[in-house]
Structure 1
Amino acid sequence: MSTRISSNMMYDQSVALMLSKQSKMNHLEQQLATGKKIVTAKDDPVASGTAVGMDRVLAELEQLGKNANAVQNRLGLQENVLAQAGEMLTRVSDLTVQANSPALSVEDRKAVASELKSIKDSLLALANTTDGTGRYLFGGAADSSAPFSLSNGTVTYNGDQTQRQVEVSPGTFVKDALPGSEIFMRIRTGDGTVDGRAAAGNTGQAVLTDIGRDSSGGWTGDSYTLRFTATDTYEVVDASNTVVATGTHTSGEDIVFEGLRMRIDGTPAVGDTFSAATAETRDVFSSIDQLVQTLQMDTSTPAARAAQQNALQASIRDVRQASNSMIDTRAAGGAQLTAIDNADSLREANTVTLESSLSQMRDLNYAEAIGQYKLEGAALQAAQTIFTQMQSMSLFNMIR
């Protein structure tokens, strides 16, 4: 068997070789121009698919970073608002203590009441703070309109109770700003657990200055009424009017019963009563309104003066609890901000790792590519030289 070598076959092989070398050089030029080892998916199908998956993860990390920035901005604004609100409540507490002084005149108390009204308006404005993007900070999920409105002197919450959770790194969620109802509206009275009040019909000069749970514990949440059977003796009855404790009262000393303690200053009248029960909830705006009304009470008699002092003491407890509630909210927000910082560190570490892996798969080794480019260039030049020489060859040259 013989193999016939034709001129056409020689031409075709030479042209194919030159085109192949030119294609390789073009590909190397693209790699050198882009700095990428993988120009098209066919260069390395497995690495190309892996790289696309990594790109997707990097895009997700970038979006999580944007989520973190947005919620960090809102939590930072919440911190600022609560700090200002805390300062206002501190001022309210100072004014309450000041108003409790017998040295103040009626005009002085009117001035205090006027300042309290101004503080209420400022608190309302803070409660309707926006986050800079047109969304209201304390509206929950219904944050497209102002969450608080004022009608006939009463503040109403119009938002919902949703507290969003935002993903800031893979599998890590942080809580957005609290709904305004939890910050401004649902504040426990008293010490947050138990509260006490003087009866409106008391005729003595006794003032309830403190109430809380006794260190020994034992309070089950039941309601009790302390009733004075004489100016220095008392009995305590439960909700069914059953006597559960009796004793002698000394002004300024704690009265302890059923896991509770009450401190009453002054001289009570026979029949005066003081209640102790589970603390209720009240909005901070109503607490300020109640304080303003207290300052407008008639104090022409000792009993009326004692009634005002009892109301002022109750307001002091309520305002203190409101301040504590906002401090707790600030602490919770601070914990979320810390979680965001930790998530930022995790995202950055993941991003560096992924980008390093992508670099190993995609980035070009310039020294190797330049060497290969020169090699392919030399091979192309050799192929072109051979093709040129082959063109000048002819059988007629052999028979001259």
Structure 2
Amino acid sequence: MRVSTSSTYDATIANLQRRAQELSRSQEQMSSLKRVNRASDDPTAAARAERALAVEARSAATQRAIDASMNAVSQTESTLGDALGLLQQARDSVVSAGNASFSDAERANLAISLRQMRAELLTIANSPDGAGSYLFAGQGASNPPFVDTPTGVQFRGVSGETGAPSTEPLPLTMDGRSTWLQASSGNGVFVTSATQQAGTGWINTGSVIDPSAATGDPYSLSFTVAGGVTTYTVLRDGNPTALTDVPYQSGQAIEIDGLSFTVTGAPADADRFDITPSSASLSIFDVLDRVATELETPGRNNGQIAQSVATALRDIDASSAKLTAQRAVAGETLNRIDRAAERLSGQKLAAQTDRSQAEDLDMVEAISTFQKQQTGYEAALKSYASVQNLSLFQYLNV
């Protein structure tokens, strides 16, 4: 086979250029620490790395949403704790108001304290979240969601919750109406109240002794005093029941249709107490307004004061139970956020691992390859330099 000098030179130059390109590519990989620097290096690996990078970007966005929810819910949980502390102080004040030795002036002073606590609770209910909204704004509000009006505190937000914009259903706000204005009234099943109270008799909160017998109808308890004898009649939805003209005994439980309640003291003639179904409509602000007004009213007898105290304690406890339940929801949400953060961390790590496996460089292998390529390139250069002088023309010149 005839081998021309020019073809040999061309083949050798092409081989040197190929080796130089391979050496340059290895240098680029080692400097970038990546095996794949462009899609043409390895199309399959580049596509795999791009998918992993997209997962990382989504994870970063979700992490920001989780952080925002964590901050908001943590503030909400702490705020509800502050509110519960204030309600406990209010309860202690109401208990003190029941002291028979207190004067009207002393009860009026307690009423002032209760109004101050009520104002502080309103401030807490309008707590901002630090991001331009409010913790209890429901589905969002640019203004404080609770407004103090002549008829009481009103919720001007939108009921519901605002969620973080992510794949994880995490809240940024809590429903303020439900939290502050919709506790269960009474004992959760029925509400006892004094409609006409001229005597010293007062009714307690009552209880349910047989849930299956409860009718859900409204009842009323009216008293008659004649000839020094006090009797009572229980009406169901305005109609007389079997408990008609029953001799009254202070502190003795009155039971009807699975319900039990007790009247204590000496009711006057025509005194009346109502027993109505409970509803989720109890506002803590209305409770404090009512008890403060009653404590400010002078000349009330012991029965009326006892009724105010019993009713206030019942309603404060119901409101506290509602706030406690909402705080428990916030606590569980924080646990859910922690679990979501853990899942997200796992997803992000998996994406980073997948991306690394697709495009990162094995430095040990890369160094070994580079050294081999460098040695081969140097050998090719030396052999070319030696062979290029072995031609007929060079020989004849000698």
Residue identity opposite 2:332 in structure 1: A
1:334 to 327, 331, 336: 331
Give the Cα–Cα distance (whole angstroms) in 1 for the partners of residues 330 and 71 of structure 2.
12
Residue identity opposite 2:273 in structure 1: F
Question: Where does residue 290 of structure 1 map in the other structure?
Answer: 290
Taking structure 1 as the reference length, what is the TM-score of the superposition?
Answer: 0.91
381-390 or 53-62, larger mean C-alpha shift: 381-390
Deviations 1:219-248 (A, max 9, x none): 132111122345553222111424253444
Shift of 1:95: 1.0
Structure 1 spans left out of the alignment, 5+ residues = none
1:46 to 25, 44, 47: 44
Deviations 1:103-151 (A, max 9, x none): 1112211211111111111111111111122321111222322112224
Shift of 1:275: 0.8
2:380 to 380, 383, 386: 383
Conserved in 2, the CA contact under 8 Å of 1:249 and 1:255? Answer: no
Matched ranges for 1:337-356 at <5 A: 337-356=334-353
Give the Cα–Cα distance (whole angstroms) in 1 for the partners of residues 339 and 243 of structure 2.
54
Question: Where does residue 261 of structure 1 map in the other structure?
Answer: 260
1:194 to 178, 184, 190: 190
Conserved in 1, the CA contact under 8 Å of 2:72 and 2:135? Answer: yes
Structure 2 spans left out of the alignment, 5+ residues = none
Question: Where does residue 169 of structure 2 map in the other structure?
Answer: 173
Name the CA shift for 1:154/1:268 in 2 (closer, same or farther; >3 Å): closer
Give the Cα–Cα distance (whole angstroms) in 1 for the partners of residues 269 and 277 of structure 2.
26
Give the Cα–Cα distance (whole angstroms) in 1 for the partners of residues 210 and 323 of structure 2.
25
Conserved in 1, the CA contact under 8 Å of 2:68 and 2:172? Answer: no
Taking structure 2 as the reference length, what is the TM-score of the superposition?
Answer: 0.91
Residue identity opposite 2:109 in structure 1: A
1:102 to 96, 100, 103: 100
Conserved in 2, the CA contact under 8 Å of 1:294 and 1:312? Answer: no
Give the Cα–Cα distance (whole angstroms) in 1 for the partners of residues 324 and 256 of structure 2.
31
Percent identity over paired residues? 25
2:208 to 207, 213, 221: 213
Give the Cα–Cα distance (whole angstroms) in 2 for the partners of residues 29 and 192 of structure 1.
77
Structure 2 residue 370 is the aligned partner of structure 1 residue 370? no
Matched ranges for 1:23-172 at <5 A: 23-152=21-150, 154-166=152-164, 172=168
Give the Cα–Cα distance (whole angstroms) in 2 for the partners of residues 110 and 162 of structure 1.
38
Give the Cα–Cα distance (whole angstroms) in 1 for the partners of residues 333 and 165 of structure 2.
12
Matched ranges for 1:249-328 at <5 A: 249-280=248-279, 281-299=281-299, 302=301, 305-328=302-325
Shift of 1:15: 2.0
Conserved in 2, the CA contact under 8 Å of 1:254 and 1:264? Answer: yes
Conserved in 2, the CA contact under 8 Å of 1:137 and 1:143? Answer: no
Give the Cα–Cα distance (whole angstroms) in 2 for the partners of residues 173 and 135 of structure 1.
19
Question: Where does residue 218 of structure 2 map in the other structure?
Answer: 223
Give the Cα–Cα distance (whole angstroms) in 1 for the partners of residues 189 and 35 of structure 2.
68
SS of aligned partner of 2:92: helix
Give the Cα–Cα distance (whole angstroms) in 1 for the partners of residues 10 and 383 of structure 2.
13
Name the CA shift for 1:8/1:162 in 2 (closer, same or farther; >3 Å): farther
Give the Cα–Cα distance (whole angstroms) in 2 for the partners of residues 288 and 97 of structure 1.
13
Conserved in 2, the CA contact under 8 Å of 1:86 and 1:326? Answer: yes
Conserved in 2, the CA contact under 8 Å of 1:299 and 1:308? Answer: no
Residue identity opposite 1:54 in structure 2: A
345-354 or 229-238, larger mean C-alpha shift: 229-238
Report how many residues are paired: 392
SS of aligned partner of 1:166: coil
